[in-house]
Structure 1
Amino acid sequence: MTASALADLGWQPFFAEQITPDDAGLVPMRVASVHRSRLSAETGAGQVRLELPLHATTADYAVGDWVLAHADTRVLARRLDRRALLRRRTEGADTRQLIAANIDTLFIVTSCNDDFNAARLERYLALANEAGTQPVIVLTKIDKVDDPAPWRDQALALQRGLEVVLLNAKDPNAAAVLAPWCGTGRTVALVGSSGVGKSTLLNTLADKAEGQAQLTGAIREGDAKGRHTTTARSLHPISGGGWVIDTPGMRTLHVADVAAGLEMLFAEITELAPLCRFRDCTHAHEPGCAVQAAIAAGTLSADRLERWRKLSEENTANTPVQTGPRGNRTTIPRGGKRR
């Protein structure tokens, strides 16, 4: 693969620096889709099916990963370290599900109807912050409301400096609205609930022909919920340059190991906490609590504090504990046994 073709796929010095003399004869490829029993990869000249090495499973790989494979057999040799990784905890599982790797911008798609849920959007923002990926809230279905400004204002209040864009996913101009985050070598991902217009937006960004377009589904008017039309994560070229990763709709999103992401998300609480009288203040009932004082003064929402508390407690409960001497640490779940 030529240097320019690699760059078009999102290759960066971060990945080039991981290549060693032992990798001679191996070809860089980018994972384009992950299914239960197979992987496909972009080569710069089209997609190919990758063969997994012995004992490897597709669960070890995310769409957007860079891998090295044997040019003749297409057997995957190894995965390069990730520059960014989005993953979520699933209920009842010890491991976290991989969402997408090596993305520059996360488009968190919601719509100007009952799908808009501040608490769920904050979960996406925490994941993006922790991964070091720029989040952008994309408000769709603006053609269905008289004035989308109230929805925009609610979204802007979720995090300092947050970018929020409004569009009609079916409008060809939607690609121009998102162009500042796209372009050659850039990778974006679409996440959000079913029915908010992710597949429609994908078709617009990728300028797919009618026969190649991703299936789209209508929403129920009663609760603004849609059905899943995307069933697997996949990588697609953007018509103006760059790549977009589509993901299935996610209604349940549990957080784990996102302490830094929560600090960024709730910066106004993070900054007030050191001003409390007690170092271990829970911001619930202690005297001299700077956070409660801000609520009383009207500069902080009580609902915002409650959502911070819920996410913080969930993150603590779901984040494994490292115990034991340095160099021989053991990971144990909260309240669980060593493993």
Structure 2
Amino acid sequence: MLTSYSLAELGWRPYFQQQLSLAELESCSVARVSEQHRSQLQLLTEQGARSIQVTPNMPSICVGDWLLINDDGFVRLLERATEFSRKAPGSKLAKQLIAANLDTVLVVMSLNHDFSLSRLERYLALINQTGARPVVVLTKADLCDDIYSYQSQVQALDPLLDVVCVNALDQSSVSALAIYCKTGQTLAVMGSSGVGKSTLLNSLQGEETLQTGSIREDDSKGRHTTTSRSLHVMAAGGLLLDTPGMRELQLSDVESGIATTFADIEALAQHCRFSDCSHQGEPGCAVTQAIESGELELRRLTNYLKLSREQALNAASLAERRAKDKALGKMYRTIQGESKKLKKGY
């Protein structure tokens, strides 16, 4: 017997409803992408699970997307409420979709050698760009002797940031995350390989749905076990999306996300003597003065400048690629037009 869910349980909201015409409501149905494979998509619908074939004429689709479908398969992709993407790994000038239509993102980081404020700021910049709610989950609390020290370091990044420490193997500890798992709410779990994302997901589910790996003793890292993104309906009613650990998380088109993540630096910069101050030794720099007085940590400024440079470089590269593709397409159309004229004897 196929398990079916109402659209509300799958995260449906008025934002998506308003995109449908009366004709589409009568002739089609909606489905949410729960798994993405090379040749097919796994979907969740009111009638139960379904799969459709991936065809060359489909747009880029990712887990969490809402699709309009009929008996023959794919009809169209609905506009996303939120979209998570990154610059594709390596030197390739392309954007890689990660997930769509998320309400909350659990950024998982373990309380051992994996702990890194700079990497956390990178994730926060990506999340803040979309408007989804970031929640920092510090795992392996049972293996840490000074939890408060780590938690206070994260909280110092943003006093309003939700920070939760858990033992992912203990369901009573994980229950602190129940507020983010209400019916119809969609969460993503992001973090480096081996930080306990799959263990956390299993505890939230109340059962072991994903394989987990033990910790390597030499560097306190777990073995990476998740290899594909998938959407799970939790016992509490929410939907949880697990993503593989991403060792290379390059940023592009996240200028506002960086500004939100480093709001303290952005606010200080308003008081610099020069509007184009680079915060690297100019006279009258309020940011430099804040570092000298101990109000701002040098590490934070260094990471802010690093991420800002990376964002600017990747955004410019992608914009240049788009411009070249547009120009190439125009040239092809011109050549095709001239070829048709020649064939007609003009």
- TM-score of the aligned structures, taking structure 2 as reference length: 0.88
For residue 335 of structure 1, report the CA deviation from its aligned partner: 12
Alignment-mate amino acid for residue 94 of structure 1: L
Conservation of the 8 A alpha-carbon contact between 2:38 and 2:54:
no
2:36 to 17, 34, 37: 34
Partner of 1:332: 320
For residue 174 of structure 1, report the CA deviation from its aligned partner: 3.7
Conservation of the 8 A alpha-carbon contact between 2:184 and 2:239:
yes
Q: 1:157 to 1:338 in 2, by over 3 A?
A: farther
Q: 1:163 to 1:42 in 2, by over 3 A?
A: same
Partner of 2:301: 305
Conservation of the 8 A alpha-carbon contact between 1:89 and 1:95:
yes
Conservation of the 8 A alpha-carbon contact between 2:193 and 2:246:
yes
Q: 1:223 to 1:27 in 2, by over 3 A?
A: same
Partner of 1:237: 233
What pairs up with 1:8-19 in 2 under 5 angstroms? 8-19=9-20
Conservation of the 8 A alpha-carbon contact between 1:319 and 1:333:
no
Alignment-mate amino acid for residue 320 of structure 1: A
Partner of 2:258: 262
Conservation of the 8 A alpha-carbon contact between 1:295 and 1:301:
yes
For residue 224 of structure 1, report the CA deviation from its aligned partner: 2.2
Partner of 2:195: 196
Alignment-mate amino acid for residue 107 of structure 2: I
Unpaired runs of 5+ residues, structure 1, are 323-330
Partner of 2:292: 296
Alignment-mate amino acid for residue 86 of structure 1: F
Alignment-mate amino acid for residue 87 of structure 1: S
User: How far apart, CA to CA, are the structure 2 residues paired with 1:84 and 1:63?
Assistant: 12
For residue 222 of structure 1, report the CA deviation from its aligned partner: 1.8
Conservation of the 8 A alpha-carbon contact between 1:332 and 1:338:
no
Residue deviations 1:99-142 (CA, integer Å, cap 9, x gap): 11111100000110011111111111001100111000000000
Partner of 1:187: 186
SS of structure 2 residue aligned to 1:6 = coil
Partner of 1:81: 79
1:217 matched to 2:213: yes
Partner of 2:67: 67
Alignment-mate amino acid for residue 150 of structure 2: W
Conservation of the 8 A alpha-carbon contact between 1:120 and 1:253:
no
Q: 1:29 to 1:98 in 2, by over 3 A?
A: same
1:279 to 275, 278, 292: 275
Alignment-mate amino acid for residue 87 of structure 2: R
User: How far apart, CA to CA, are the structure 1 residues paired with 2:168 and 2:103?
Assistant: 21
For residue 336 of structure 1, report the CA deviation from its aligned partner: 8.2
User: How far apart, CA to CA, are the structure 2 residues paired with 1:177 and 1:187?
Assistant: 17
Conservation of the 8 A alpha-carbon contact between 1:317 and 1:334:
no
SS of structure 1 residue aligned to 2:171 = coil
Unpaired runs of 5+ residues, structure 2, are 328-346
Partner of 1:328: none
Residue deviations 1:133-171 (CA, integer Å, cap 9, x gap): 100000000000122111111111223411000111011
Partner of 2:22: 21
Q: 1:22 to 1:53 in 2, by over 3 A?
A: farther
Alignment-mate amino acid for residue 332 of structure 1: E
1:316 matched to 2:312: yes
- TM-score of the aligned structures, taking structure 1 as reference length: 0.90
Alignment-mate amino acid for residue 313 of structure 2: A
User: How far apart, CA to CA, are the structure 1 residues paired with 2:11 and 2:189?
Assistant: 17
Partner of 1:155: 154
For residue 45 of structure 1, report the CA deviation from its aligned partner: 4.1
Alignment-mate amino acid for residue 10 of structure 2: L
- Runs of 4+ residues over 6 Å off in structure 1: 334-338
User: How far apart, CA to CA, are the structure 2 residues paired with 1:124 and 1:171?
Assistant: 25
Conservation of the 8 A alpha-carbon contact between 2:166 and 2:174:
no
For residue 46 of structure 1, report the CA deviation from its aligned partner: 3.0
Percent identical across equivalent pairs?
45
For residue 321 of structure 1, report the CA deviation from its aligned partner: 7.3
Partner of 2:106: 107
CA RMSD, aligned part only? 2.0
Partner of 2:336: none
Alignment-mate amino acid for residue 18 of structure 1: Q
Q: 1:174 to 1:129 in 2, by over 3 A?
A: same
How many pairs does the alignment contain? 321
For residue 334 of structure 1, report the CA deviation from its aligned partner: 11
Conservation of the 8 A alpha-carbon contact between 1:85 and 1:131:
yes
Conservation of the 8 A alpha-carbon contact between 1:34 and 1:63:
yes
User: How far apart, CA to CA, are the structure 1 residues paired with 2:322 and 2:15?
Assistant: 34
Alignment-mate amino acid for residue 17 of structure 2: A
User: How far apart, CA to CA, are the structure 1 residues paired with 2:310 and 2:185?
Assistant: 33
User: How far apart, CA to CA, are the structure 1 residues paired with 2:33 and 2:182?
Assistant: 19
Q: 1:337 to 1:78 in 2, by over 3 A?
A: closer
